[in-house]
Structures are given as structure tokens and as C-alpha cells.
Amino acid sequence: MSEHPHRLEQRKVRFDFEGTPLHWVPNEPEASHIMNTLHLILPAGEFWFCRVYNKALPLVRDVRLREDVQGFVKQEAQHARAHDSALTPYLVRHGIDPTPFTDKLHWLFDQLLCDHPLGDNAVSRSLQPWWLRQRVGLIAAVEHFTCVLGDWIISTRSLDHADPVMLDLLRWHGAEEVEHRCVAHDLHVHIGGSMLMRWLYMLIAAPLLIFLFSSAMKTMMRQDPVTRYRPGFLRLWYHLGKRDLMPRMGDVGRAVARYFLPSYHPRGEGDIQVALAYLANSPAARRAAAEKAPISA
Ligand SMILES: [Fe+2]
Ligand SMILES: [Fe+2]
């Protein structure tokens, strides 16, 4: 099962965006907005992960994997809360209304990908084990991307001059994505997911994520006079990737290709030592650890 030598821990981080500018990567409004899409997508998406995994937990017979799934759920819930905490004190304060996008996103997770998208009837109930496996497979494919993106954000030096609060949020999150990179894949395999399902869900996850990033980006850019008329998401990604302000398209393409290898396992992705080193030094994670530590007399 998972290879990391420690239990996954929920770090109860908090962020104060009071001084964070809208264009938190200086002079890079497009890069700022593209990374800000995470605040729109992840609260709904990661709480959905938690609901699906809580449903899958009774199926896990392996003690270690069970602990990993529980740790994963706690970490993802904290990720969702942290990104959600950026909506009002940061985006709304800067005049960006996220609801044209987030209202539609709630339909995706609460209506289409919920436990009973066909209604709570006999057909729906009989399909539950199958439907749970499909959603776990989809999450495993998405988690491959979160590990790859997380590894980039903790490794790149091109953002070192950006707003330290926002950067710490993204790097803390990215580091935990690398830390729990094996859990989603191991759970998928444990409950009967096949290689064919893995391929199928990557073919769904990749265009779905591009669509979500593109739509969320447009929602924000339209409301910012500086970025009102800009090229599409893929063109921007290509150009920002060349300047290391996003992961390079070619690198992400190669990561997608690795997911199709029969030998694929997420333990080969990302750099766990870099991730753990960041978590040991993240300002927000250190504050959370200090608040958690018992006060000595
Ligand atoms: Fe996450
Ligand atoms: Fe994750």
C-alpha cells in the first residue's frame, strides 16, 4: 500500500489575506487569475472527495490503507476550507464575484456526481457499488494532476517573489498533495479498480479539468478591467508555462502519458522529501503546529 513512513496529519492552517493584492504574482495578472481558479474549484471539489471517500471507507479491509484514507479525508477537508477562506476576504474584497462559476460547480458535484443522480429509487440503489467505484476512479485521476501541480509549485523558484500568504497557501496545499499522492490510486485498486478504468477516467478527468480551469478563469478575468480581453486558457497556459509561471504544457502532457503505463504507481511522482521539507517550514503549518502543541507549565 502507501509508501510514506508516517501517518497523514491534518494541519489546521489559517491564512490572513488582508494584505494580499488581486494580482498576487507581481505584474502577472493572468498567472494570478489562473492560480486563483483553485479557490473557486477546490472547496466544492475537495468536499466532494471527502463525501465519496467516507462512503468508500467501510469497503477498506487493509488497516494501513484505512488510516491513509482517513488522513486523506482530513487533509482534503482542510484544503477545501483554506481555499474557501480566500473567497470573501480576498476575491470578493477585490471586486470579483465567484458565484457565476461556483453556482454551476455545485450542480456538478451536488446533483450530477452525488450518490443518487438518478433519484433515490431501486435502480439507483442497485447501482451504488458500481457508481462508487467510478467516482473513486475519477478522484484517482484528478489526484494524479494535484500531485504533479503540487510538485511544481513547491519546486519552482519563479514565484518566490509573489505574495507570501497566497504562496504559502498554494505550497502548503501542493506539499500535502505530494505527501498523500498514493492514497487515491491505492484505494481505487483496493476496491476493484482496473487499469482500463484508470485509463478511462484519465480521458474524462483531463478535459474536465481544462474546462473547469478555463471557465473559472474567464469568470474572474471578465470582472477585472486589467484582464477583460485576453486569449483563451490553453494559449495562456502555453505562454505562462514557457516562463515557468505555470507547469509547462509538455511536462503535464508527459505526466498524463505516464498514467497510461501499466507500471504506473504514484510513488514515482513528485519529490516527497521536498514536500516534507516545505511542510516543516511553511509559516501557516508552523503556526498550526504551535497552536496544537500543549502549553508547558
Ligand atoms: Fe487537496
Ligand atoms: Fe489530494
This model's pTM is above 0.85: yes
For residue 143, which ligand has an atom nearest its CA? Answer: 2
Q: How far is the CA of 196 from the centre of ligand 1 (A)?
A: 25
- Res. 297: pLDDT tops 50: no
Q: Which of 60, 55, 72 is nearest to 135 (CA)?
A: 55
Task: Say what the pLDDT of residue 238 is.
Answer: 96
- Res. 163: pLDDT tops 50: yes
For residue 42, which ligand has an atom nearest its CA? Answer: 1
Q: How far is the CA of 39 from the centre of ligand 1 (A)?
A: 11
CA 277 to mean position of chain CA atoms? 20
- Res. 247: pLDDT tops 60: yes
Task: Say what the pLDDT of residue 290 is.
Answer: 94
How large is the average pLDDT for residues 69-96?
96
For the chain, what are the domain ranges? 29-288
Q: How far is the CA of 76 from the centre of ligand 1 (A)?
A: 5
Express each pLDDT in 107-136 by its tens digit: 999 999 999 998 888 767 899 999 999 999
How large is the average pLDDT for residues 278-285?
98
Task: Say what the pLDDT of residue 296 is.
Answer: 54
Q: What protein residues have CB closer than 5 angstroms to ion ligand 2?
A: 146, 177
Instruction: Name the residue type at position 182.
Output: C
pLDDT-derived band at 3, boundaries 50, 70, 90: low
For residue 83, which ligand has an atom nearest its CA? Answer: 1
Q: How far is the CA of 92 from the centre of ligand 1 (A)?
A: 22
